[in-house]
Amino acid sequence: MKKELVLEVIQERWSPYALSQQTVEEFKIKAMMEAAGHAPSCNNEQPWLFVYTTRENEKVFNDYIEFLVEGNQIWAKNAYALIISMARTRFSHNGKPNRFAQYDTGMAVSNLLIQATAFDIHIHQMGGFSVEKVREYFRLGDDVEPIAAMAAGFLGDGTNLPADVLKKDENRRPRKTVNDYAFKNKLYNPAF
C-alpha cells in the first residue's frame, strides 16, 4: 500500500510533549468520546470506560496529575484535559472474563485519537501512572481495569517545558516499515 493512500488523520496523529493549556471546547471532547463509542467490540460488549477532567476544575485536575509518574507530570500538567481509559474485564451477560476487554478499549481509544486529530487536538497517552492510585481514587472493583492515562490539548509552544523534554518533539518518532510487521500467506513471508 502506498503511504500516501493512508488517511491524513491517521498520518497526522502524533504525541507531543508540548501541549497547550488553551480551552478545548466541550463539544469537541464530547465528539471524541462519541467517536470512541463507535468502535467494534467482542460481543458488542463495549467494555471501555473513560473518565476525564479539565484544568477548569483545578482540584480534580491536580488529583489526576498525582496519578502520573514524575516524568509524565512535568509535561502533562500543561495539558487542557486528562483522560483515563478503563476496561470492564467481565462480560455483562454472564460475568465471565472478557479477554478482549483491553483490546476493545484500545480500539475505542484509537477512534478517539482519530477524532481528536480531526480537531487538531493532540492526545499523548501514558502508561506511566499508578494503577493503584487510580483504583483507590475511583474505588474500582476487580472487574474494572485502568488501562492508560492521556493528556489532551492543542499543540503548545513548549515554553514551560524543560529543554530536554521539548527536544523530544523535534522529530517524529520513527516507524517500522510495513514489511516488518505485515506478511502474506506465511508469517514472516514478505507481503509487499
Q: What is the DSSP string of 69-98?
A: -HHHHHHHTT-SEEEEEEEE-B-TTT--B-
Work out whether 128 is an interface residue with ligand FMN (CB under 6 A). Answer: yes
Pick from 37, 40, 97, 127 the residue near ligand FMN by CB under 6 A: 127
**Nearest distance from C-beta of residue 185 to ligand FMN, angstroms:** 30
What SS3 class is residue 27? helix
**Nearest distance from C-beta of residue 66 to ligand FMN, angstroms:** 15
Instruction: Provide the CB-side half-sphere exposure for 26 (13 A, CA).
Output: 2
* 81-88/122-126 β-pairing: unpaired
Residue 58: count other Cβ atoms within 10 Å of its Cβ. Answer: 10
**Nearest distance from C-beta of residue 94 to ligand FMN, angstroms:** 29
Work out whether 162 is an interface residue with ligand FMN (CB under 6 A). Answer: no
Candidates 24-32, 45-53, 96-104, 121-129: pick the segment binding ligand FMN (CB under 6 A). 121-129
**Nearest distance from C-beta of residue 96 to ligand FMN, angstroms:** 26
